[in-house]
Chains A and B, each alone.
Chain A
């Protein structure tokens, strides 16, 4: 027995409408967590439908401004903010992030005071932003709680943030959406402090990219962020997130082809990333992971030391490794060291996702097949 998908006799849009009605029926406060991307735009429009239907007034929208946001996305979020049916809270909270350059990670702080004083912020905070100081916290230092803790302050009763997370975006997201069988799309935020009455509602979890655009354009005739047309032109990735972390840094070329001025801003703030642009394909993460994986669990330990940049990550990573190690002892072929490091690299242990075995068509699966063939050749030779 395993988790499978049971397809229903209704389309994903009708299902999402049913889900969002259920969310509004269940929670005291419902907000749309908006990123400027296509998926959260679709969610915003679903929320508008129910607000119109029930006469609920403006849709409450939360935008977490993570500083390194493309100008096209900022323009689009501003457009949304100005809509009369939107009540947006725009947060600029300092928080830890990372920059990935030539196989190494560096810790950075978004909206850092140091970079602000040096004139190296990607942009200034808008005057309407809700900042750390509004919560009595020092500016430019990561706050003690997760950002969701602050964005849900002042909301009445039980609160749901509707997000545009979709299962088809990655295997990690898919797994997070099939862990529960009942109300699988209503989940507790990871790292959430106990007692915070906040849930995430992933109402469009079963949509595909084409569903999202069809819904936005054909059902609502609503504009989407211009970034997507530029990305379509160049075959670039259609995600609007921070482009400097471990996986996205490989898409730096996409930033240049879609918004070269934004790339210049990023280089001004983080000059080291330009080396990554010139030689990004030499330093891909497959090679890096293999370097650690070749050294067995010693390599895993070294990986945790090198890549888990704060105590929280170290603790989660060690627990993840311990669980993996138990399964590796029973079935080393399905739980390879490479896949362990790969999963940690992708941040699996930070999202409360269980250790997973490797499957056919994965990188680890091919690596294992090659190793088995090589091992057979060596044994035959002996």
Chain B
């Protein structure tokens, strides 16, 4: 039987197995979500000392926010009776199996939300912490826009010749958008 209890904010602590990192823009979106919806999904903690197995970042956001820590003093937690090694394993198992957002599906969803007029681009900025650029890409991120073909003029043709160095232009190879790839 699963045990779920409301635990005081100050009684929870970070587990020494913590191995995930949430980037700052995503933390902001997570904070907005908690402010509006609260804790829809409980944290998972170890019974012995209330160390957080899953949900550390949500807890930390509330703890460090003056506003949120005033309104949220207790957090729903699933309490697991395990030792720290089992807790470490559970932390890894939970985090290794998180789904990945697929960009083109996110793009379709965002277009649907905007078309519905229930949500605006301002909502996307606020609720999902999206930048102007990201919204632009998601709403119209086709290759046609990226290479800007309407503005583009065809390149000049060329032929190879044997000539003194520097007599004509240097060659430049196209690079992938992310040079590290």
Indicate if the CB atoms of B146 and A232 lie closer than 8 Å.
yes
Interface status of A250 (Cβ within 8 A of chain B):
yes
Interface status of B36 (Cβ within 8 A of chain A):
no
Q: Give per-residue flags for B98-115: 1 if the beta carbon is below 8 A from chain A beta carbons, else 0.
A: 001011100100000000
Q: Give per-residue flags for B152-173: 1 if the beta carbon is below 8 A from chain A beta carbons, else 0.
A: 1111111111111101110111
Which A residues touch B161, using CB under 8 A?
Answer: 3-6, 181
Which single residue of chain A is at the shortest CB-CB distance from B149?
A214
Which of A23-31, A201-209, A315-323 contacts the other chain?
A: A201-209
Taking CB atoms and an 8 Å cut-off, the chain A residues in 144-194 that contact chain B are: 167-171, 174, 177-178, 180-181, 184
Evaluate whether A208 and B174 lie within 8 angstroms (CB atoms) in the complex, with A213-B143, A217-B149, A234-B103 already known. Answer: yes
Contact of B162 among A181, A209, A215 (CB under 8 A): A181
Interface status of A324 (Cβ within 8 A of chain B):
no
Indicate if the CB atoms of A8 and B157 lie closer than 8 Å.
yes
Which A residues touch B157, using CB under 8 A?
Answer: 7-8, 10-12, 14-16, 206
Interface status of B6 (Cβ within 8 A of chain A):
no
Indicate if the CB atoms of A229 and B160 lie closer than 8 Å.
no
How many A-B residue pairs have C-beta atoms within 8 angstroms? Tell me: 147
Indicate if the CB atoms of B154 and A11 lie closer than 8 Å.
yes
Give the size category of B's interface with A.
35 or more
CB distance from A34 to the nearest CB of B (A): 19
Give the size category of A's interface with B.
35 or more
Indicate if the CB atoms of A256 and B100 lie closer than 8 Å.
yes
Which B residues touch A224, using CB under 8 A?
Answer: 143
Interface status of B65 (Cβ within 8 A of chain A):
no
Q: Give per-residue flags for A232-267: 1 if the beta carbon is below 8 A from chain B beta carbons, else 0.
A: 111111100000000000110110111010000000
Indicate if the CB atoms of B154 and A260 lie closer than 8 Å.
no
Contact of B160 among A168, A184, A213, A234 (CB under 8 A): A184
Interface status of A1 (Cβ within 8 A of chain B):
yes
Which A residues touch B169, using CB under 8 A?
Answer: 5, 7
Indicate if the CB atoms of B158 and A6 lie closer than 8 Å.
yes
Interface status of B19 (Cβ within 8 A of chain A):
no
Measured in the bound complex, the distance between the Cα atoms of B159 and A253 in whole Å is: 37
Which B residues touch A184, using CB under 8 A?
Answer: 159-160
Interface status of B80 (Cβ within 8 A of chain A):
no
Indicate if the CB atoms of A8 and B163 lie closer than 8 Å.
no
Indicate if the CB atoms of A206 and B155 lie closer than 8 Å.
yes
Which A residues touch B144, using CB under 8 A?
Answer: 213, 217
Interface status of B137 (Cβ within 8 A of chain A):
yes
Interface status of A231 (Cβ within 8 A of chain B):
yes
Indicate if the CB atoms of B155 and A208 lie closer than 8 Å.
yes
Measured in the bound complex, the distance between the Cα atoms of B157 and A211 in whole Å is: 11
Interface status of B178 (Cβ within 8 A of chain A):
yes
Indicate if the CB atoms of A233 and B156 lie closer than 8 Å.
no
Indicate if the CB atoms of B164 and A211 lie closer than 8 Å.
no
Interface status of A306 (Cβ within 8 A of chain B):
no
Contact of A169 among B103, B104, B173, B180 (CB under 8 A): B173
Interface status of A325 (Cβ within 8 A of chain B):
no
Interface status of A218 (Cβ within 8 A of chain B):
yes
Which B residues touch A338, using CB under 8 A?
Answer: none
Which single residue of chain B is at the shortest CB-CB distance from A228?
B143
Q: Give per-residue flags for B121-152: 1 if the beta carbon is below 8 A from chain A beta carbons, else 0.
A: 00000000000000001100111111111101
Interface status of B181 (Cβ within 8 A of chain A):
yes
Measured in the bound complex, the distance between the Cα atoms of B161 and A180 in whole Å is: 9
Indicate if the CB atoms of B181 and A251 lie closer than 8 Å.
yes
Taking CB atoms and an 8 Å cut-off, the chain A residues in 301-360 that contact chain B are: none
Contact of B158 among A8, A214, A254, A256 (CB under 8 A): A8
Evaluate whether A233 and B155 lie within 8 angstroms (CB atoms) in the complex, with A1-B164, A254-B181, A260-B102 already known. Answer: no
Which single residue of chain B is at the shortest CB-CB distance from A226?
B104
Which A residues touch B162, using CB under 8 A?
Answer: 1-4, 181
CB distance from B181 to the nearest CB of A (A): 6
CB distance from A239 to the nearest CB of B (A): 8
Evaluate whether A207 and B155 lie within 8 angstroms (CB atoms) in the complex, with A4-B161, A250-B181 already known. Answer: yes
Indicate if the CB atoms of A4 and B155 lie closer than 8 Å.
no
Which B residues touch A120, using CB under 8 A?
Answer: none
Which A residues touch B160, using CB under 8 A?
Answer: 3-6, 177-178, 180-181, 184
Interface status of A230 (Cβ within 8 A of chain B):
yes
Interface status of B10 (Cβ within 8 A of chain A):
no
Interface status of A56 (Cβ within 8 A of chain B):
no
Which single residue of chain A is at the shortest CB-CB distance from B171?
A174
Contact surface of A with B, Cβ cutoff 8 Å: 1-16, 167-171, 174, 177-178, 180-181, 184, 206-211, 213-215, 217-218, 224, 228-238, 250-251, 253-254, 256-258, 260, 281
Complex A-B, nearest 3 residue pairs according to Cβ-Cβ distance, in ascending order? A15-B157, A11-B154, A178-B160
5 additional A-B pairs beyond A218-B150, A235-B177, beta carbons within 8 Å, are A213-B147, A224-B143, A232-B146, A233-B107, A256-B100
